[in-house]
Amino acid sequence: MKAKFLTGCRYAAAIVLAIATAGCSLLPGGKDQAPEPTAPSLSEVVEVSEDYYGSITPYKPNLTRGMLSSTRYRIDFSHLELGLMEFARDTFPTSEYYFQEGQVVKKEQVAQWIAQEKASGTNGQQKNGILVHVLEHDYLNKKDKQLAGMVLGLSVSPNYQDATGKEMVYTRQELQAKGQQLAATIVSTLRVSTPNVPMLILLYQVPEANSSLVPGHFIMSGTVAANDSAVSKWQPIDEEFFLFPSADVEKKYAQQSLQYDKLMRQAQAYFGEYVGMTGVGRFMDGRLTELTITATAEYDSRTEVLQFTQYAAGSINQLFDKSVHVNLYVQSMNKPLAIYIRPTSGEPYMHLYRQ
């Protein structure tokens, strides 16, 4: 069963907060045999559905909460958290498991891993280290409410300094290899306290430092079976995000770039005034699967907003294939005005804010 995965949507964080509202004791055990991790997968988008994890009270926050305030890296938590849940569904069905914020990995442990990884470089390399953060999600068996599965998101950065202090960047393949080495250390440590709990490991590459709109992306997933002390299988993930319009997307995905440029020209010609339109496209295996557009202008009336949104929706349907999930947000400088959502299956949805 796959939920479709939506990234870039501004309400994604609200969805996460709604479904992750509880906690409980995390003593490993349980009488049922632990499930073997399946090959996890990341589907294209998350549609609105009722297939969310249940929860129990009282709520316990994640033990590593607040750690990112001391890092220079930006992490898109909406994309990261929903991605972890998407992978979890393949092994821990929502009908059989509760969700709980991570209660095993502590701040002190993450800080130690980061320090150890920084010191592991040779010849002065890796002074910054690649490990940025570790996010844990726990899954509890509904029968006894005991810890029955874990998903770990390892946020990694490709940036490092060489022996001379020069800033360098690992290639995707190099970062994947180093991420696997890092995961081996972390899994080995966690096996002391959770020897029988199956795990899913995700490597999440943080966004570039100068990128405020484009989120990070997943680059690899791994599975750890119950009673195993190491990752048994790794799978690469081909996920990319591009800003529209930009020279980068024009260079790599010229057709999609031309389609977006035409959408902007049509929208601005219809409105008669300047309309700022910024898009973020998600590509899976080289194919555009989701496009999130934010249109900003000063509108004089709600009827003007309605007409513009309807026109833009029509242009979207003409220019972009039905296999692309599209989110359109219409706003003024200080408040949202309308939204239009076109899913890959089902009917499109449009809403006009009254205030």
Average pLDDT, 10 consecutive residues per value, the chain (355 residues): 39 37 36 58 45 84 79 79 88 92 94 83 61 94 94 93 84 95 95 93 88 87 92 92 95 97 90 85 95 90 91 96 96 92 94 87
How confident is the model at residue 30, as a pLDDT?
A: 43
Residues 262 and 149 in one domain: no
How confident is the model at residue 122, as a pLDDT?
A: 53
Report phi then psi at 287, rounded to 5: -120, 135
pTM of the full structure: 0.79
156 in a structural domain: yes
Number of domains within the chain: 2
How confident is the model at residue 300, as a pLDDT?
A: 76
Which of 172, 205, 236 lies at the terminal end of a domain, its last residue? 236
253 in a structural domain: yes
Distant-in-sequence contacts of 168-176, Cβ < 8 A, 24+ apart = 170/130, 172/219, 175/130, 175/203, 175/205, 175/219, 176/203, 176/219, 176/220, 176/234, 176/236
**Sheet harboring 233-236: ordered strands across?**
97-101, 131-141, 147-156, 199-205, 217-224, 233-236
**233-236 and 217-224: which strand pairing?**
antiparallel
Residues 206 and 246 in one domain: no
Residues 268 and 285 in one domain: yes
We report the CATH number of the domain holding residue 332 as 3.30.300.190
Give the span between the Cα atoms of 155 and 164, in whole angstroms: 26
Which of 208, 236, 264 lies at the terminal end of a domain, its last residue? 236
Contacts of residue 106, defined as CB under 8 A and 6 or more positions apart, other chains included, come to: 63, 64
DSSP at 163: T
Residues 282 and 188 in one domain: no
User: Which residue from 137, 115, 136 is spatially nearest to 126, judged by alpha carbons?
Assistant: 115
Q: Which helix (DSSP H) or strand (DSSP E) does residue 326 occupy?
A: strand 325-331
Three-state SS sequence of 176-234: HHHHHHHHHHHHHHHCCCCCCCCEEEEEEECCCCCCCCCCCEEEEEEEECCCCCCCCEE
Residues 255 and 310 in one domain: yes
We report the CATH number of the domain holding residue 178 as 3.10.570.10
66 in a structural domain: no
Query: Could you write out the DSSP letters of every residue in 106-152?
Result: -HHHHHHHHHHHHTT-STT--SS-SEEEEEEEEEEETTT--EEEEEE
Using alpha carbons only, what angle is made at residue 222 by residues 23 and 249, rounded to the nearest 5 degrees? 100
Which range of residues forms the domain containing residue 97?
Answer: 75-236
Residues 164 and 248 in one domain: no
Residues 276 and 312 in one domain: yes
Residues 163 and 145 in one domain: yes
304 in a structural domain: yes
Residues 304 and 213 in one domain: no
Residues 226 and 247 in one domain: no
200 in a structural domain: yes
Which of 209, 236, 263 lies at the terminal end of a domain, its last residue? 236
SS3 of residue 77 by DSSP: helix
Give the span between the Cα atoms of 215 and 290, in whole angstroms: 13
204 in a structural domain: yes
Residues 170 and 285 in one domain: no
Contacts of residue 38, defined as CB under 8 A and 6 or more positions apart, other chains included, come to: 90, 91, 223
46 in a structural domain: no
- 10 Å Cβ neighbour count for 48? 12
User: Which residue from 217, 218, 214 is spatially nearest to 200, judged by alpha carbons?
Assistant: 218
Contacts of residue 207, defined as CB under 8 A and 6 or more positions apart, other chains included, come to: 73, 74, 75, 76, 214, 215, 216
276 in a structural domain: yes
How confident is the model at residue 301, as a pLDDT?
A: 86
Residues 107 and 179 in one domain: yes
Residue 221's DSSP bridge partners are: 202, 235
